[in-house]
Amino acid sequence: MGESIRLGRIAGIAVGVNWSVLIIATLIALGLGVGGLPQLHPGHPEALYLVTGVLTAGLFLGSILAHELAHAIVARRRGVEVEGIVLWLLGGVAKFRSEARTPRDEIAIAAAGPAMSLIAAAVFGIASGASALLVGEAMSTTVLGWLGVLNLLLTAFNLIPAAPLDGGRILRGVLWARRGDPASAAASAARGGKGFGIALIALGLLLVVGMVALDGLWLMLLGWFIVTAAGAEEFHASLRGVRVRDVMTRAPVVAPDWLTLQEVVDQYVLTQRCSTFPLRGFDGRISGLLPLAAVKRVPSEQRATQRARDVACPIDRVATGHPDEELTELLQRVRGTCGEGRALVFDAAGELVGIVSPRDVGRARELHTLRQPQRNADDPPTSGGQRADEAEPTGTP
């Protein structure tokens, strides 16, 4: 889930929000300001109810942000590169650019979020109790108590052992420590997540049929998200142990960045079996990446005057990697970058040696799956992937 607005940085970690967070914030604010609080505490001005509802929604989103910050801070302390945090419709996501190095790190990072939510539940619960002693059954008592209960439920839900929930990541760490195989552990946790998500969808459907439409739709949406995210994690797990050099297309065709788009079409697009071209500047360095889709977006009558470098993805916005690193780490960096999901591969001397496309990744997964023998959970870990000499000979499909 991408961010729509960047809020800034907290403890050096980028924080953003997706527009969909407005939906949950509005539902909370109106649910309390129009429905819940006027019924429980009648006799106050309508504006006070709405303001209280908005403040409560803000505090709830703040507790979710604290949950994700706990993940991110612990991850950074344990050597995991943190991309940032995004709040959205169904909560928040802490995005990482690298993997946990050990099972202990995996468990610590995953457990940090529920621990923070549990602390928030305790703080709100104590504050609600103090408010009850000082002012009785006032709106502040109700709101603080509601926030405490909600954070407690958030803790319990996140500890369900199903990826991508925190409990699923804890399970992954435990299985990793037991089996010695992070890929097998991640796949098991992901399968549990898919099963749990399907169960939520089924329960939501039953509620919709039983005329509890809103609750049912929320459960179906949540279940769909969990199934989708678990499927992505299962795909990611299937590539554990595969190196970039095993999947990259070697010796990609490079075009000069000073050519016009029409010259690129005539000299490269029509003569090469490639859909993306790295560009090289006058200084001999790779300056960007030109997908065929970017060329198509320029009207044909303008291609004779438009330079390739003017529409290409600049190199600082293109994901780059090293042949010897794990493919999963490179894929973490591809997210949110320019280049239609592609990455450029450079050797230790800074020379371009390959390019990785979504098709390369999909083929690598299929080959990796075919080469994996059927084995028991306690068997020693194995690794495999696409041989370097099996990559496409030139360019990017």
List the structure tokens of 259.
């050519």
Neighbours of 252 (CB within 10 A): 26
Torsion of CA 176, 181, 186, 191, to 10 degrees: -100
Q: Is 284 helix (H, G, I), strand (E, B) or coil?
A: coil
Neighbours of 26 (CB within 10 A): 13
The residue behind tokens 């994700």 is 68
Q: Is 150 helix (H, G, I), strand (E, B) or coil?
A: helix
Known active-site residue 106: no
Burial of 341 (0-12, 13-18, 19+ CB in 10 A): middle
Among 229, 104, 250, 113, which Cα is nearest to 172's? 104
Between the alpha carbon of residue 153 and those of residues 114, 156, 194, the distances in Å are 10, 5, 21
List the structure tokens of 157.
């839900």
Whole-angstrom distance, CA of residue 215 vs CA of residue 200 = 11
Catalytic residue among 3, 68, 106, 392: 68
Neighbours of 124 (CB within 10 A): 23
DSSP for 15-30 reads EEE-TTHHHHHHHHHH
Active site residues: 68
